[in-house]
Amino acid sequence: MTLSIGIAGIAGRMGRLLVEEVEAAGASLAGGLRRGDDPRPLFEASEVVIDFTHAHSAARHAALAAETGRGLVLGTSGLSAEDEAAVADAAERAPIVYAANFAPGVNLVIALAERLAAALPAEHYDAEILEMHHRQKVDAPSGTAIAIGRAVARGRGTTLEEAGRESGRDGHTGPRRTGSIGFAALRGGQVVGEHTLLFAAGAEHIALTHRSFDRRAYATGAVRAALWLKGRPPGLYSMRDVLGLA
């Protein structure tokens, strides 16, 4: 049976790509949500809604997924801790795939980041994450950079909050704190997305890099996640689940 997919933000750059990928996947387009529209009719008409809109809409869309029993693929970045808690609460009543990045390659990098961090002790290997995006991006560090940082912390048996984030270094900052995770964000031009994880020790450096050249990779991954959600029970899933990496 064909899956009915709705697209929040259908008029945007990602929305137009998602329409093409829904068609290419053999699914049906239930409709789209534009700025100012009431989102409820879209959720009622869809089996799964893909949302790449704005952080301030995430909690409301997750709540609608829970109310209507529809699936939600959430790719919006810049969510606050309160927004993420609202999404997790909604996932108790609806199946939700929430990811900082839907490109398969990025999610493999995140999985590798955790494994590398487990093998490279913080006492000897400093972890630094460098990312660059287009000049219009409004949040920093990017959601993908934070996801990589969380994977590094998880591999070392801690959390990003406990390990500590170092970013925006300026002036006399003192020596680097052992075990902390550094972030540097570059913005310029029309770069789709570049992320490098660097483990730096006294005798060696190890770098893991992913570059996105086309936003279509995100759209393809999001539609793949929507298809995967069909028939799933309520829960908060990630692209690691979709790709069989969990």
Cβ burial of 44 (10 Å; 0-12, 13-18, 19+) is middle
Catalytic residue among 61, 133, 195, 210: 133
Tally the C-alpha atoms within 13 A of residue 29's C-alpha that lie toward its C-beta. Answer: 16
Query: Measuring CA to CA, how many Å separate 201 from each of 122, 152, 164, 177, 184?
Result: 9, 15, 19, 14, 18
Catalytic residue among 54, 61, 137, 230: 137
Q: Is 164 left (phi over 0), alpha (psi -120 to 50) or beta?
A: left
230 is catalytic: no
Q: How many residues does the chain have?
A: 246
137 is catalytic: yes
Distance CA 107, CA 125 (A): 22
- Catalytic residues, which ones? 133, 137
